[in-house]
Amino acid sequence: MRMPSPRSRRTLGLGLAALLAPSMIAACGSATAARTTSAEGARTTAAAVTPRDSAGTTGSPSPASPSASIPGQRTAPPSTAAKSPSSAPATGSPTAAPSSAPASPSATPSPTGDGRSHQIVRWTAHGGRSVALTFDDGPGPATRPILDLLREYHAHATFCLVGNEVERDPAAVRRIVAEGHRLCDHTVDHPQPLHSRPHDRQVHEIADAKQSILRAAGPGAEVPWFRAPGGDFTAENEQIAADHGMTSLGWSVDPRDWAKPGAPAIVANVQQHLRPGGVVLMHDGGGDRSQTIEALKQLLPWLQAQGYTFDFPAGG
């Protein structure tokens, strides 16, 4: 077989190259276009996804959010963050934290300028087997019968008088003093609750009642105690009383004679609850006190039979 000459081979190679060149160019162009299209698609996809995630359209925080990227940082729960300021607990309210209120003045006496103390007295002056009988809200119709019974049993008592009642019956006050009993300030007109009145009104109730009692009692009389209506003692009215030379007087036995439970119930209450050195609260004014009188007819001889002596409250 005859082989082609070198010139013929060159001519043949050039011809093949010319035939193959267009197809090769087309293939390269298709590959380039495919790569370009793929890259553009990836960029388009990234552009579509990134704004949705960073905007939090799914409701979850963005991974790039500072609150999510700082370890240990506390974030408020949605319910707390949305809570209205009005729902927060108030501070400084007078009713807040009642358990932190100061102890009773009787437990923590506080000296005053006149040497007396903020101390609610609930015991007798001399202690031992003694009792202090006290009568509130008079003078009234029951005052003289009670004075008669006390004289019969050689007993002494303390009368907590209301200023307006004193003005109506000053003679009863003079008899109380003449027969060796003691006087106590029970305000001008027995307002309840006393602590709800303005300061000036409380001063009037306490100071003016004392002056009314002293005028009725006559020269040399003293009013060493103050008793708040209903036992409504506060640091304010205790201070007012102390400023006017009076000790706040409470009680240790309340037979509730003011509620008229019957003479037997009054007697039983005192007999059950009285302890040596106690202060008994009863009433000679403020209404019908016939049950108190009947109860006293039984209590006075019983007290003597039990060995009690009659004393005045401490602080007088």
Catalytic residue list: 136, 283
**Who's near 192: CB < 8 A, 6+ residues apart?**
229, 230, 232
Is the CB of residue 132 less than 8 Å from the CB of residue 278? Answer: yes
Farthest-apart Cα atoms in the chain, separation: 173
Is the CB of residue 223 less than 8 Å from the CB of residue 183? Answer: yes
Question: Could you tell me the two tokens for 69?
Answer: 């990227």
Q: Which residue has the tokens 């019956």?
A: 169
Q: Is the dihedral of CA 76, 77, 81, 86 positive or negative?
A: negative
